[in-house]
Chain A
Amino acid sequence: ETGVTQTPRHLVMGMTNKKSLKCEQHLGHNAMYWYKQSAKKPLELMFVYSLEERVENNSVPSRFSPECPNSSHLFLHLHTLQPEDSALYLCASSHQGGRETQYFGPGTRLLVL
């Protein structure tokens, strides 16, 4: 499945580091999403971009900063993270609209030391 790709697949970072996660979709979609999947918690929506505009920020701390330069690319910039931010970060994309199915990337496994 190469419709939605994410890089890197694995990332280890210290609490003072700055890193970025990248997502790219090849499906012609116009909405993109970041989700966080922690152990023992349901998937949590973090951000939604629709037509390159952020339409939802689900009370995410400012140490996570999203960027959507165009409809095919989505970034999540990370700085001064905490160990509890260690999780699987999943990107998804869809056509705009409630009835549209979201397609997911393979995720980035993040470990914060």
Chain B
Amino acid sequence: AQTVTQSQPEMSVQEAETVTLSCTYDTSESDYYLFWYKQPPSRQMILVIRQEAYKQQNATENRFSVNFQKAAKSFSLKISDSQLGDAAMYFCAYRSGAAGNKLTFGGGTRVLVKP
């Protein structure tokens, strides 16, 4: 079974600075997808960024980028120029390309942004 591990329960960052969240996963599959979701206090789960395992290029979305290391099974999220609105829980998630529907989530990292 796939597992997703987020080793940092909480991270703090100064406004306008950069923070990196770590995520590792365990799988024997070669075809899969990785996601970062953000859950603000409103509890709505919002997709931040997604990475296909077959793509070597790291995904980017504005101030959010990932460092995808397939051999190491690592998928970290970098938030650049942090803003107060970035404060939230961030969840890393794995989805098999073959088995289809199931998302497996990590335990989450709380990001605090200091003004």
Contacts and interface: CB of A to CB of B under 8 A. Distances in A.
B33 A99 contact: yes
**Interface size for chain A: under 10, 10 to 19, 20 to 34, or 35 or more residues?**
20 to 34
Nearest to B4: A42
B101 A98 contact: yes
Given A1-B46, A43-B91, A101 B101 contact: no
Interface in B83-115: 91, 95-108
Contacts of B31: 98
A2 to B, nearest CB: 11
User: Which interface residue of A88, A103, A104 has the most chain B CB atoms within 10 A?
Assistant: A104
Interface in B24-65: 31-33, 35, 37, 42-47, 50, 52
Given A98-B33, A98-B96, A107-B44, A42 B101 contact: no
B108 A106 contact: no
Contact of A106 (B43, B91, B101): B43
14 contacts: A31-B101, A33-B101, A42-B107, A43-B105, A48-B102, A55-B100, A58-B102, A88-B43, A94-B101, A98-B32, A98-B96, A98-B100, A101-B50, A106-B42
Interface of A: 1, 31, 33, 41-43, 45, 48, 50, 55-56, 58, 88, 90, 92, 94, 96-99, 101-107, 109
